[in-house]
Amino acid sequence: MKKVFFSNSGAEANECAIKAARQWGENKKGLHHATIVTLTDSFHGRTLTTLAATGQDHYHHQYLPLTPGFVYAETNNAADLESKVIANQCCAIMIEVIQGEGGVKSLTPEFISAVARIARENNLLVIVDEIQTGNGRTGKLYGYMNFDLQPDIVTTAKGLAGGLPLGATLLGERVKDVFTPGSHGSTFGGNPVCCAGALNVLSRIDDDLLRSVTEKSEWIIQQLKENSGVKSISGMGLMLGIDPVKPVAAVLKACAEKGVLVLSAKNKVRLLPPLTIEWDQLKKAIEILGDCLSV
Ligand SMILES: Cc1ncc(COP(=O)(O)O)c(C=O)c1O
């Protein structure tokens, strides 16, 4: 990646990516090449435009009308993606490599290769939303690095500054010069306090930390996969989704009563522990989770 624009949240990082893609579309393909194809079950933020980018109806209906120019293709269905691209005047395809809010659902390597091919054949940008999957979460610096994919735009936030509000939109070779002075901006974006936080976080995401993320992930899967209350486990690194036999709300409640806070995503129990979680805490938490899941 060649340039970065700093903002204050994930949604703002995606807004910047969408503006960059539309500006690129207008420059390279003509005024109306503004449509962005996103995926069903995606989640891209809570502003009106990033809600429009989000391919889940239930996030939409209270807030209509949303920003136009988004079309949704079925996740992991390359034929559907290709037909949506061909039927619209597009500038980009936008994906998460693992859909967090959408149920910790991984894109298949075959589908990710198809995204790259369809973008190449139709002269489109690939935007990867790494707001949840970035900064070591999957065991690589960015989630896309687990696959054979070179995105044109990568967005990240969440863990980037360790809890301080910072979003980043990384622009690759094809889009690095789309913004000219004054065409995009932010008062607080790139402020020194949040950037100091990010410098510290990034200095600690080294090979040892990434290895420990993978090790902890494998250990968690090992502990839970034979549990009588677990149907399957999805995700990567320390972003895992457990499909429970019991209703997910019951598992969350039982865990909370025993001092372990876990999230849900659709029908899954979602685990997103700190990458630096100590082994003794992890062991305690997984023991409690295992008890609460089992039937
Ligand atoms: C994949 C993804 N994109 C975008 C967002 C929005 O980020 P933020 O809440 O920082 O605006 C989130 C988080 O909620 C997310 O998980």
- Which protein residue has the closest C-alpha to ligand 1 atom 14? 45
pLDDT of amino acid 291: 98
pLDDT of amino acid 216: 98
Contact 77, 241 (CB under 8 A): no
pLDDT of amino acid 114: 98
pLDDT of amino acid 16: 98
Q: How many residues are listed for the chain in this entry?
A: 295
The tens digit of pLDDT for each residue in 4-41 reads 999 999 999 999 999 999 999 999 999 899 999 999 99
pLDDT of amino acid 73: 98
Per-residue H/E/C for the chain: CCEEEEECCHHHHHHHHHHHHHHHHHHHHCCCCCEEEEEECCCCCCCHHHHHHCECHHHCHHHCCCCCCEEEECCCCHHHHHHHHHHCCEEEEEECCEECCCCCEECCHHHHHHHHHHHHHCCCEEEEECCCCCCCCCCCCCHHHHCCCCCCEEEECHHHHCCCCCEEEEECCCCCCCCCCCCCCCCCCCCHHHHHHHHHHHHHCCHHHHHHHHHHHHHHHHHHCCCCCEEEEEEECCEEEEEECCCHHHHHHHHHHCCCCCEEECCEEEECCCCCCCHHHHHHHHHHHHHHHCC
pLDDT of amino acid 292: 98
Is 33 close to ligand 1, i.e. is its CB under 6 Å away?
no
pLDDT of amino acid 19: 98
pLDDT of amino acid 189: 97
pLDDT of amino acid 8: 98
What pTM value is reported for the model?
0.97
CA of 129 to the centre of ligand 1 (A): 9
Given a cut of 70, the residues of the chain with pLDDT beneath it are none
What the block records as the tokens of 207 is 């090979």
Name the CA radius of gyration of the chain, rounded.
Answer: 19
- Which protein residue has the closest C-alpha to ligand 1 atom 12? 45
Handedness of CA 172, 178, 180, 184 (dihedral sign): negative
Is 102 close to ligand 1, i.e. is its CB under 6 Å away?
no
pLDDT of amino acid 14: 98
pLDDT of amino acid 139: 98
pLDDT of amino acid 266: 95
- Which protein residue has the closest C-alpha to ligand 1 atom 9? 10
CA of 42 to the centre of ligand 1 (A): 11
Domains and CATH numbers, the chain: 3-204 (3.40.640.10), 207-293 (3.90.1150.10)
CA of 132 to the centre of ligand 1 (A): 7
pLDDT of amino acid 29: 96
Q: Which of 38, 106, 131 to mutate to test the pocket of ligand 1 (most atoms within 8 A of CB)?
A: 131
What the block records as the tokens of 277 is 């979680």
- Which protein residue has the closest C-alpha to ligand 1 atom 8? 10
pLDDT of amino acid 119: 98
* Residue 45 alpha carbon, nearest atom of ligand 1: 6
